[in-house]
Amino acid sequence: MGKIEIIQGDITKQAVDAIVNAANCSLLGGGGVDGAIHRAAGPELLAECRTLHGCETGKAKITKGYRLPAKHVIHTPGPVWHGGGRGEDELLASCYRSCLELAAANGCKTVDFPSISTGVYHFPLDRASRIAVREIDAFLKEHPEIERVRMVCFDGRTKASYEEALSEL
Ligand code: AR6
């Protein structure tokens, strides 16, 4: 109990075993949190990402953290919201599971997530936050080796939504 935390902040500043990047399928950078992570990590991150040959929506790939305080970056392309009829819920759930599977496989005990898909990709926030905390909670129950998972929310509205979702678990 109590292994999921919600904070407000900048994910690029977090000194954890792994931060998650809300990427796109190219894994070659973009705007939002993806742009911030690449800027803070430095050009070595993009160089490693080029060797990965992209990633499918809902899957994840791991790199080193380079100049970030975090040891690793786990890159996951979330679904673009198209109204809910194109498997968006299951794809978003798969992002959280895939990232946590990679974290566990790489010995990461502390993992920080941004709010995947709720920016440029327009996934409805309250729907996304419920899916996220449900998947994280389910995974942690099966993987006691992961010590802490945080949602690092950039703004107060996002933080409030994840807090509400966590309280409903
Ligand atoms: N720390 C934590 N959260 C942040 C930060 C930060 N430094 N910066 C932004 N956010 P978005 P998406 C929040 O748009 O919807 C990129 O171009 C932001 O406020 O970054 O999954 C990719 O390359 C929002 O709550 O990701 C893709 O093309 C959340 O992160 C596309 O955007 C996610 O917003 C992915 O879109």
Flag whether the pTM goes above 0.95: yes
What gap in Å lies between CA 107 and CA 143, rounded to an integer? 11
Helices (H), the chain: 32-41, 43-50, 88-105, 125-142, 156-167
pLDDT in tens, the chain (169 residues): 589 999 999 999 999 999 999 999 999 999 999 999 999 999 999 999 999 999 999 999 999 999 999 999 999 999 999 999 999 999 999 999 999 999 999 999 999 999 999 999 999 999 999 999 999 999 999 999 999 999 999 999 999 999 999 999 9
All structural domains of the chain with their residue ranges: 4-167
Whole-angstrom distance, CA of residue 98 vs CA of residue 119: 20
pLDDT, residue 2, reads 85
CATH of domain 4-167: 3.40.220.10
In this structure, the strands spanning 110-113 and 4-8 are unpaired
Instruction: Classify strands 72-77 and 18-23 as parallel, antiparallel or unpaired.
Output: parallel
Q: Best substitution site from 39, 45, 57, 120 to test ligand 1's pocket, by max atoms within 8 Å of Cβ?
A: 120
Res 69: pLDDT: 98
Pocket of ligand 1 (CB under 6 A): 10-12, 22-24, 30-34, 36, 78, 114-121, 152, 154-155, 158
Burial class (CB in 10 A: 0-12, 13-18, 19+), 105: exposed
Ligand 1, residue 32: give the atom nearest the CA: 20
What is the reported pLDDT for 1? 54
Task: Give the per-residue pLDDT at 157.
Answer: 98
Give the mutation target among 154, 157, 158, 162 for probing the ligand 1 site: most ligand atoms within 8 A of CB.
154
